[in-house]
Structure formats: structure tokens, C-alpha cells
Amino acid sequence: MSTASHTRLHPLTTSTEVQKTFEELEWHQRKRWAEGMRKTAPGAKPSQWAGLPGAEIVARNRYANIYPWQSNRVKLEVTDGQSDYINASPITLKCTRGGNVKRYIATQVCLPFYWTSATLQT
């Protein structure tokens, strides 16, 4: 490949830069966690980083430390008395040329109830 046609594909070039970037990402994540764990005053809107507490929520997660934010999660359409929780987040992509919109659901490795839930949401 000639030097003239060579394109730099990634801005991180040294292991020090990579390490620094990951450390910054980790601190941002810690800040989000701390904000999400704060108690919300009655009647106040919860933080965008608030999670969903409770044993039932943990039982429906494949991993105990990975869950969607309360403000950005898929809510199942269920009958009264059933949980509307599934560890999944919606993703909407809009084509910049044609404007077509595609919707996806990002989730963990599926637990047994997932396919029934996902089928009901499509």
C-alpha cells in the first residue's frame, strides 16, 4: 500500500492512549452508576441512569451486573399482575439517505421466557 493512499483507520495509536481512554470511560460509567443509585424524591423524575431494583428484576437477568437504564428499556405488554420487565433496550436506526427506519431490540443471551416475550412485541 502506498503512503499516499494509506488512511488512518483508528485514532488510538499507542497502548498508553488506549489505556487512558478506557480509564476515562470507566470513570464516566462510575459517575452514571452513582447518579442512578441516588434516591429519587417522591413525585420527582428519576435520573436517566436509574436502574430497576428488586429480586424479580435480578432473577430475570442473565447477569446480575448488566441491566438497562429505567428510562431506556423495552417494556413488555402484559396483563395485570405480570412483570413487564425484560433486560432489553430499543435501538432505532434511521437511514441518512432514504429515511427508512429500522427498529431492533438489544438484549443479553436469552433466558427461557425471552422468546415468548419477544414474539409478543413484534
* Distances 54 to 66, 84, 101, 102 between C-alpha atoms, Å: 14, 13, 34, 32
Cell of 77: 405488554
Residues 6+ apart with CB under 8 A from 106: 88, 89, 90, 91
pLDDT tens, per residue, the chain with 122 residues: 444 444 454 665 677 888 888 899 999 989 988 888 787 778 888 788 887 777 777 777 777 777 777 888 888 888 888 888 888 888 999 998 888 999 888 887 666 666 655 565 55
